[in-house]
Amino acid sequence: MRRSLRALDLVNLFQADVGAGLGPFLAIYLMASRGWKPEMIGLALAVQGYVAVGAQTPAGALVDWIRPKRLAIALAAMIIGLAAIVIVRTKGFVAVMCAQIVIGVVSVVIPPAIGAISLGLVGRDGFAQRAGRNEAFNHAGNLMAAVTCGAAGYFFSRASIFYMAAAMSSVTALAALAINEDDIDHALAREAVAESSGPQVATPLRVLFRDYRIAVFAGCAILFHLANAAMLPLLGMRLSTGHSHESTLYMSACIITAQLVMVAVAPLAGRLAPRWGRKPVLAIGFAALPIRGVLYTLTGSPALLISIQVLDGIGAGIWGVLWVIIAADLARGTGRFNLIQGLIATGVAIGASSSNLATGVIAQHFGFDAGFLILAAVATGGLATLLLAMPETMQASAYPALLERCAALND
């Protein structure tokens, strides 16, 4: 078990959110090295997310269905690495778009598979802290990737960034295969009852979809990522204007600043979620986003713009932990944990894709400040939706345990 948990740490460290993490560097690469306009860059970033919209929920259902979840992670990571190489080894708009489509299809398998393996290894009682640990290692990996890719882009070439991403994908695959399959409780990995209880029957979809909390939380995910996804690429485009040579270093500094904060925030969020409740902790992350968008419009100093990324670390660090915990709360006893992860991730993909596409058009025609202010307004709407419409889910996860204790007392 210890070896499997350490291997899971390495999966989170080296996978480093490669599929989405290429976005900021891709924006700089396409603008500075190939002369693409912001509108075309926005389309290239958006197509990956739009493909993921259709793939997220089936990917979650697939992870619920298959046992070799670690193999699914390994295959997805290798394909992402090959697509990253295709981006720099081929020329033209079509090649980049096809690579982005492939990344969009396969990358959606990795998050639910990591969540499922984590739950199957540590159980429900340890899952909140494990989710925080996963995110801490993930953000540490992003930090490591930002440092190495930023340095490679500055001292060698921007294309070397994508070769670094391919190398990290290969290590991710090896780490995933090092997890011991026998250590995973595969029934618990999809939030079903224990395997020893007999044949497993998942909750019918028509019953699952009557839970209005799933739709509300998916709406919160859409609004949060509609506001959040384009902020960093938009900041990268702004920093690259007049600073072409230093742009990769500036982007690396932005990512490093945010990831340092996320490394500290993620495990803290995992510890606070069982104490404070899910909703109060998540609200802190949602509140950081509109403040960040407004602050970007108040300065043109690269140093100050980079320092504002502390708020990105708070918002993204909390979201990365809490959304998986809430998905597990909503899935308790249904056998549909990974399907619900896929549904919420679909909301994330819708928001992120629309954010990149719309903001690229706005930035080209109305300027960067207009883009930041619109994103801040959307973020405010997401915070209001969370506070007014989304109920607390921690009690839902405790309720079955209470019934079990009552039944034991009656016996």
* pLDDT attached to residue 244: 58
Q: List, for the chain, all residue ranges whose pLDDT scores fall below the cut of 70.
A: 16-24, 193-201, 241-247, 396-411
Looking at residue 301, the DSSP 8-state letter turns out to be -
* pLDDT attached to residue 398: 41
Q: From the CB of residue 274, how many other CB atoms can be counted at a distance below 10 Å?
A: 17
Element (H, E) at 36: none
User: How would you class 402 by CB atoms within 10 Å of its CB: exposed for 0-12, middle for 13-18, buried for 19 or more?
Assistant: exposed
CA dihedral 380, 383, 385, 387 (to 10 degrees): -140
Looking at residue 297, the DSSP 8-state letter turns out to be T
Phi, psi of 258 (to 5 degrees): -65, -45
* pLDDT attached to residue 18: 55
Q: Which two tokens stand for residue 25?
A: 């560097």
Q: What digits encode the pLDDT tens for the residues 295-335?
A: 999 988 888 989 999 999 999 999 999 999 999 999 988 88
Looking at residue 35, the DSSP 8-state letter turns out to be -
pTM for this entry: 0.77
Give dist(CA 55, CA 104) in Å, integer. Answer: 8
| Domains by residue range for the chain, with CATH | 2-185+203-410 (1.20.1250.20)
Q: Give the contacts of 394 (CB within 8 A, at least 6 positions apart).
A: 273, 274, 277, 278, 329
* pLDDT attached to residue 115: 92
* pLDDT attached to residue 159: 78
Are the C-beta atoms of 227 and 353 separated by less than 8 Å?
A: no
* pLDDT attached to residue 400: 45
Q: Which two tokens stand for residue 233?
A: 């690429």
Residue type, 118: S
